[in-house]
Structure 1
Amino acid sequence: MSPKAAALVLVLLAVAGAQADINPDEVASMLWKYFTELGSHAKETVDQLHQTELTKHTLLESNLQSVNSYAEDLQRQLVPFAMELQVRLAQDSQRLKEQIRRELAELQAKLAPYADEVHQQIGTNIRQLQAKMSPYAEELRSQVDRGAGELRRALEPYATELRDRLQDNAESVQASLSPYADRLQQQIDSGVESLKQRLAPLSEELKAQVGQSVEELRRGLSPYAQNVQDGLNRQLESLTAQMEQAAEELRARLAASSEELRAQLSAVAQELRQAAGSDAEGLQQRLAPLAQQLDARVGQMLEAFRQQAAPFGETFGQRLVERLEAMRGKLDSGTAGVEDHLELLEKEVREKVAAFLSTALPAQN
């Protein structure tokens, strides 16, 4: 069995064996990633929809033993559903490509007499979007700075406490290290969670701004797109999906950076736990460098986090502008790229998975 196939089996088993509420979006994400094999190139992604090993029915059946009846029931239904969905996607992929190509050509022909007006409208939308994103980028920088500053201030007393504790005798230092490390870890966890909660709402607000910007663009272009509204709507739907994906990636990057910071800070607490388990003799001498450097090390970690996370807002704004400029180019040329329909295919996966999971299984007690 290939690593890809084994990975799919493991995820399906994990999902099926949970017995808690199943998240359709998680199942859809897993299937979509498998169907596309995480391809980094759009054409490869489409080709892989036709070639994926999921069509081999025995790929999964041999790995579905030793699970409870609920998991087996889900697997018996989910595997054929996934196989059927893969075949459907392969068919829909070609259909959507042809449909989008035809609609875009018709839309381009309809808009051609108003090329200057369309350019001006999209240019206006780009400038408005940049104006809207600028305060959010500044707010993100501000929140990152505040959050990092608050966390540093919360951890500063621990550096002072450690230096003071080293003035005691070795046995007392050793006895107090583990409780001290536990409290330090609790403060780290609390501080990082507060930081994440501070940053999370911004990505949701950005999603709302994305929807508003696309709707403004729709209103601006609709007068020039009479009789080809379906084509315009499909292009705007694809644009919305791309922008929302960028917003989700921003949220994920902020969360990942916060967790990376947690891991770095937690390594300090772990050092102290390990020291507590070593011989008391020479413990103070071994800990002295850490005590002297603790505040500086924490400061360096927080500064690295700040430097990494603060520019995310500007990067997000640039990506949105690139999406709008790409759409303007498509409307000029009437040419659709292979990637134009992938968002619609993924949306179809999510809708079908949600519908399947809502009807396939009985309610669990």
Structure 2
Amino acid sequence: MKAAVLEAFGSPLSVREVPDPVLGTGEVVVDVVAAGVLPYAAEVLSGERRYLLTPPVVPGAGAVGRVRAVGPDSTRLAPGDWVLCDPTVRSRDDARTPDITLQGASARGDGGLRLQEHFGQGSYAERLLVPTENAYPLGSVNPADAGRWTALNLCLVPFGGLLAGDLRAGETVLVSGATGHFGSAAVAVALAMGAGCVVAPGRDEEVLADLEHRFGPRVRTVRLSGDEADDRERMKGTAPGPIDLVLDLLPPSASTTPVRAAAMTVREHGRVVLMGGVGMLGGDDLALPYPWIMRNNVTVRGQWMYPREANVQLISMVDAGLLDLAAFDVTAFDLDHANEAVAHAASDNRRFALTVIRP
């Protein structure tokens, strides 16, 4: 089969023939119809992000496609079924703390790297091997709309954070990093989950205005100044009442100042979920005041990715019309132009815009 291969960090992708995936028990081979390209894919492929990924490797995290073949233990999936391929692959020999690899992107620790040896090849290819439990049925899909369905791989990340924060209908959530790729998706997902109000801080006035235009009065935006104390008060003042949940999705390039400013807007007994990249490339660690956390009974937790059931829940939200994939604009490239797709994803600053590779 044909695939785009990262031979070494910093090298262009090489589009060439590679061996077909070999199907085993507990696995599914999927014909890739659309694979999303993350805006920071170029940073991963250059090595700038320092992700645990071992070249040579086929990159690409997640895909939408059609089942080509199933293992002998599959009882529901059949060739031809449309599926969402979840790139979060978990080991099966420790239910409590499984090792994790992000297929075609990264891994967590030595165990994740061992898992990557088998499931490391990603979705910039004609075919993809995934664990059976990572192929989620989508029902009937118009092939022309396959690119839009890759938005699920994007939305799953903030959805995992909102689930971890136990967002409830009618609550007010503040999305730290709301003008980013994942942050703007978090605004859409929070509203789809029934948030009464989403406070969206940021410095990009064009994106903030777009969020207000797209979602109406349930989204309240805040233009950040960079002064921590002032920004905190402005965020609190923008909310219609106490802020129940803060979700941080700021990237590695951000400092800890806006993270702390946002986190400390949460009400007494509120929840803070950290799932961004601040500190991953060095710099100061996040400092939150012990007395503030303790005396206000604040829950602070980290969340990496999302639980398995999030896939089914998010697909159901799309099917019910709560999350509208038509809001996403798709720019597609064929596999031979994978390098152009990566460059386009890095340069396209629009939110709710997807870059996809269609092998």
TM-score (norm 1): 0.22
Higher strand share: 2
Higher helix share: 1
Larger radius of gyration between Structure 1 and Structure 2? 1
